Structure 1
Amino acid sequence: MASAFAVLNETLPAPGWLLVGATALLAAAVSATSFALLTNGGQFVLNRANVLGTLFHEGGHALVSILTGGGVFRIEITGAESGLTWHWQPSPFAGVLATASGYAMPPLAGLGAAALLHRGLVPAVLALTTVAMLFILLFTRDVLSAGAVVVVGAVAFCALRWAPGWLKNGIAYAEAWLLLTSELGGLGALVANRWRGVSGEHADDAASLAERTGIPGFVWIAAWLALIGWAVWHAVPLLWP
């Protein structure tokens, strides 16, 4: 136990602006990069490559389901920016919280990582990421999902144990930026789907919340965008040297 606390309280010197800027640009490129995917219906849709945000998105559903007295049957990662969490809740209000937490979790986790990095607690960010991946792994039942979780968890764990300080900083700062920006692409896809009238939009979180609460889906999308903006606004001063 003592060693665990020692890791969580270990600090590293703050990196220079070059590393911080490079990781910010990397995260922006990953979050903005998209690739065309042909669906079964013969339509091309754009997926983005930020799988870290997807893991935290689905993990957010699972965590809030458990914290509100419900449970999780399964987490499945179906692509870099798509996944499903089968969960149950003891009340309608708990169901709303669990559903809304998906798009809220990555930016909030990114802000939390920024707060830790501002204090130099780089190992804590990597250790907590490893724990988060172990939590998600408990609910994975297929090879693709387990593989994605294991790869991310292994990168964080190996960096924590063996990487030099500059590499630990690089991975932790890249993670913070990726989490802060990851859901912009997903929310953009929700807006684009509604604009184009793409079939299947009834399955997304905003539509599910609209059905549960009577509050239109675009209001939920706007709220998530506002949350991302708030998180980024507060995280940038913490991350920038």
Structure 2
Amino acid sequence: MGIDDVTEMWDRVTGTQQAPAVWLVIATGLVALAVVGIRGSWRFARNAVTIAHEGGHALMALLTGRQLQGIRLHSDTSGLTVSRGKPTGLGMVLTAAAGYTAPPLLGLGGAWLLQSGRITALLWGTTALLLALLVMVRNAYGVLSVVATGSVFILVSWLTPGEVQALFAYAVVWFLLLGGARPVFELQARRRRDRGRVPAVPGAAGTAGAPDSDADQLARLTNVPPLGWLLFFHAVALCSLVGGGSWLLGL
């Protein structure tokens, strides 16, 4: 690959592309809403939200100086990220809090990129993040999930026209904004159903079932009740949806 090819590729990534018409943006949002709202499609698509969730735990663990041990993604759409370090303190709190907030915040960041016209940057950036995450996945189903998701982004980025790439990018961002909110409601429902105690894994965070969920782990770490953390997760998801949706619609 010559210098001209590298320059052309860089210009393609950093350049801007034409956004779809507003009615198409609304249509992609309705499609994402249907995927999130329908039980059958959600059970399949939720794997993508779990990838973002565990990626949030992993990134925050690295940023706070913890040693990342690995990530596991399961066929029931649960996941687990294990890191080594001090079992209490700010680093562990931030790592545990990063899971449920990661999908909506990623959606918000994606909406900012799209309102700037950087569709290619979003697609290629997401692919790069998935490749980085793949290195830390420690089970076969997790590898399959990340490879399959990354392959979709690669195929769309390289084999489809710009109009299709734009629609796909908007649908993905809508999905993260909407899909980032539903797991918090699911966690709230699980906590009502299951009041038993499951031993915690030191340094672990993920989409585990209640009462060893992220909210319960955070409650033990901070003495803030789980309801307080649930409200925090809800607030992040709602603010991201409102802000990101406004950007996507050009308001």
TM over 0.5: yes
Sequence identity, in percent? 33
3-state SS, counterpart of residue 180 of structure 2: helix
Alignment of 1:1-241 (within 5 A): 2-3=7-8, 5-34=10-39, 49-79=45-75, 81-90=77-86, 92-197=89-194, 199=196, 201-241=210-250
Unaligned runs of 5+ in 2: 1-5, 197-208
Deviation at 1:79, TM superposition (A): 3.3
Post-superposition Cα deviations, 1:167-191, rounded to whole Å, max 9, x if no partner, equal: 1011111110111112322111111
Native 8 Å contact 2:181 2:238 kept in 1:
no
Distance 1:156 1:8, change over 3 A: same
3-state SS, counterpart of residue 154 of structure 1: helix
Native 8 Å contact 1:50 1:178 kept in 2:
no
- Report what 1:41 is aligned to: none
Distance 1:148 1:154, change over 3 A: same
Amino acid at match of 2:178: T
User: In 1, Cα distance between the equivalents of 2:38 and 2:173?
Assistant: 18
Q: How many residues align?
A: 231
Amino acid at match of 1:141: R
User: In 2, Cα distance between the equivalents of 1:89 and 1:112?
Assistant: 29
Q: Which has the higher strand share?
A: 1
Report the aligned-residue RMSD. 1.9
User: In 1, Cα distance between the equivalents of 2:139 and 2:234?
Assistant: 31
Native 8 Å contact 1:209 1:215 kept in 2:
yes
Unaligned runs of 5+ in 1: 36-45
Deviation at 1:80, TM superposition (A): 6.0
Native 8 Å contact 1:88 1:95 kept in 2:
no
Deviation at 1:198, TM superposition (A): 5.1
Deviation at 1:129, TM superposition (A): 0.6
